[in-house]
Chains A and B, each alone.
Chain A
Amino acid sequence: MELNLFLSITIFGIGIVIMVLKRDLMIKLIGLGIVETAVTLSFVIVSHNGPLPPILTLPIDRVDPLPQAMIITSIVVGFAVLSLSLVFVVYLSSVYHTTDSYKLQKRIKKDEQ
């Protein structure tokens, strides 16, 4: 596998380890952002067939346009997911007064008793 693609899989793995390792909810969201950035980076790597952008008025050494159209959709989807999870975190921390995920789970369990 190409070196650049392997590095983007590494960044994907780092993002997932951050989501599991850290306790604070906001840092988990940053980890999710890193995962999505790794996917976007891999799209850019795959579409690199030549040095020029995909505009028809330029000569023939253009990059592949299809992964770039897929990036546009995946960025919008990632934006929607991140904004919704941010609103959820704001709501939860206004009710339970913490953003630490362990304390949050304990308080929720106590709430249900």
Chain B
Amino acid sequence: MKKISLFVTITSVAIVLTVSAFVAIIPHNANHYPLVTELYDGSANIVSAIYLDFRFYDTLFEVLIFSIAITGVSMYANRVKESGKILAANSPLIKFDLLFLGMVIILWGLYTALIGHLQPGGAFSGGAITASGIVVLTMAMGSEKIHKGVERFKLEWIENSILIIIVLYVIFADIPSGFFFPGFSVGKIGDFFSGRGALLLNSTIGFKVFVGGWLIFYEFSKRKESV
């Protein structure tokens, strides 16, 4: 049965490739966004204007997808026994280098997340960079100290409450017009305080992605030898 399914798959993929080689698509080079961004949004990065302002409805669900992934990972990882841990670095030279590198990566990640409306960057990339800085710090200081940080800062509680800030922005940012209308001010292009709600949203979503990445790393590294 498995050999038949393999044969059918390879044949079907070959047929789809052959058909697609002869399909003629005339590209339609669309260019709707630059004028609208300059007038109504004011951020220099057009992609940030799209996913934080014009199509923010999709980004709300994407943040929900991210929260559900974190909740699911915690829920199912709790069924597996914990074992194994990451040891701190042995020699003081490597420990110092890794600590320095980790701090620089965390600061760089926060910077990328905050100025997403001026340069390529934004909440999701900045949060991912900051979470990888935590991985480097764990290699330096050992997993026990970093895992104590998860309990001390109550990371799961913080991660769940950030969603409330985003929903409050959706409801109350522009009360006369309704839900999902952007708030704050347009500003001059290239200014730090421009781009409507981009500063608030980038910092909250970036922080949420950072905390979520830290939590996933925490769950997996506690079970290093459970497989």
Interface positions of A (Cβ within 8 A of B): 1-2, 6, 9-10, 13, 16-17, 20-21, 46, 49, 53-57, 60, 62, 64-66, 68-69, 72-73, 75-77, 79-80, 83-84, 86-88, 90-91, 93-94
CB distance from B62 to the nearest CB of A (A): 5
Cβ-defined contact, B227 with A87, below 8 A: no
CB distance from A104 to the nearest CB of B (A): 14
- Per-residue A-contact encoding for B68-83, CB less than 8 Å = 1, 0 else: 1100110011011100
CB distance from A39 to the nearest CB of B (A): 15
Chain B: residues with Cβ within 8 Å of the partner, total of 56
Q: Is B50 an interface residue (CB 8 A)?
A: yes
Cβ-defined contact, A65 with B33, below 8 A: yes
Tell me if B's interface is mostly helix, strand, loop or mixed. helix
Q: Is B226 an interface residue (CB 8 A)?
A: yes
CB distance from A113 to the nearest CB of B (A): 21
Q: Which residues of A contact B47 (CB under 8 A)?
A: 54, 65, 68-69, 72
Q: Is B66 an interface residue (CB 8 A)?
A: yes
Tell me if A's interface is mostly helix, strand, loop or mixed. helix
In the complex, the chain B residue whose C-beta lies closest to that of A57 is B44
Question: Which 5 interchain pairs have the tightest Cβ spacing?
Answer: A80-B69, A13-B13, A69-B50, A54-B46, A65-B46
Q: Is B29 an interface residue (CB 8 A)?
A: yes
